[in-house]
């Protein structure tokens, strides 16, 4: 296991101990939040997974209700690890999510109502309709920025180079 992966695992272990049901810090005051070194890892995971797996509409669907927090944390985190291009690209993601937030919310409500009536297959079809729509968007060139190996390698390199900082953030001072 590389040094970066080992340090990242310290963060995942801390998250599992302190937030076993996943991050619950969205929408809370800054004094209640873990440090950026911790928050950025699940934010990166949400951004990179969703954009790589289904694009920005999938990100909005899966992060509905807290997408603003994820993007803000991601912007700061990408700058911290030396990935300014990804940080800037999140402005495009913000614009698209803000534009279609109302529609996504309506589709979420409809999906939950259909789930209650007909089961998960009905929910899945509504999800598929929302995430597969061909939205008019500026160029899609920015999406590949998040599922390239080099951005993940930047993350791991930063974590390896900042092991002491991460250990402090997770309360593991030597």
pLDDT tens sequence for the chain (174 residues) = 789 999 999 999 999 999 999 998 888 876 778 999 999 999 999 999 999 888 888 899 999 999 999 999 999 999 999 999 999 999 999 999 999 999 999 999 998 898 888 887 877 888 888 887 655 555 567 788 888 889 999 999 999 999 999 999 998 754
Rounded CA separation 173/167 (Å): 6
CA separation for the pair 81, 93 (Å, rounded):
19
8 Å CB contact between 6 and 157: no
Q: Is 82 left (phi over 0), alpha (psi -120 to 50) or beta?
A: left
Q: Which domain holds residue 118?
A: 36-169
- Encoded tokens for 31: 């004094």
Whether 86 and 151 have beta carbons less than 8 Å apart is answered as: yes
**Domain count of the chain?**
1
Residue 9 lies in a domain: no
Decide if 81 contacts 41 (C-beta within 8 A): no
Residue 20 domain-assigned (yes or no) = no
Rounded-to-integer distance, Cα 61 and Cα 68, Å: 13
Place of tokens 């297959």: 121
Which burial class, exposed, middle or buried, applies to 62 when counting CB atoms under 10 A from its CB (0-12, 13-18, 19+)?
middle
121 found inside a domain = yes
Q: What is the pLDDT of residue 7?
A: 96
Question: Which pLDDT score is estimated for 135?
Answer: 53
Tokens of residue 158, six digits: 């930063």
pTM of the model: 0.90
**Is residue 118 included in any domain, yes or no?**
yes
Is 26 inside any structural domain?
A: no
164: in domain: yes
- Over the stretch 32-54, which tens digit does the pLDDT of each residue have? 789 999 999 999 999 999 998 88
Domain presence at residue 60: yes
Distance in angstroms (rounded) separating the CA atoms of residues 19 and 15: 5
Residue 152 lies in a domain: yes
DSSP classification of residue 81: T
Residues 101, 93: Cα–Cα separation, whole Å? 12
């Amino acid at each position: 296991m590389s040094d970066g992966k080992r340090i990242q695992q310290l963060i995942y272990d801390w998250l599992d101990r302190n937030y076993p049901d996943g991050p619950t810090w969205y929408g809370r005051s800054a004094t209640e939040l873990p440090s950026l070194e911790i928050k950025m890892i699940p934010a990166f995971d949400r951004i990179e997974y969703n954009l790589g797996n289904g694009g920005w509409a999938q990100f909005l669907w899966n992060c509905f209700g807290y997408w603003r927090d994820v993007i803000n944390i991601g912007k700061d985190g990408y700058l911290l690890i030396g990935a300014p291009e990804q940080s800037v690209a999140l402005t495009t993601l913000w614009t698209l999510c803000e534009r279609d937030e109302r529609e996504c919310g309506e589709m979420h409500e409809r999906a939950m109502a259909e789930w209650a009536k007909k089961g998960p297959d009905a929910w899945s079809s509504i999800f598929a309709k929302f995430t597969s729509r061909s939205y008019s968007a500026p160029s899609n060139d920015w999406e590949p920025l998040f599922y390239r190996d080099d951005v993940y390698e930047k993350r791991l390199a930063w974590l390896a180079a900042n092991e002491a900082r991460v250990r402090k953030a997770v309360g593991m001072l030597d």
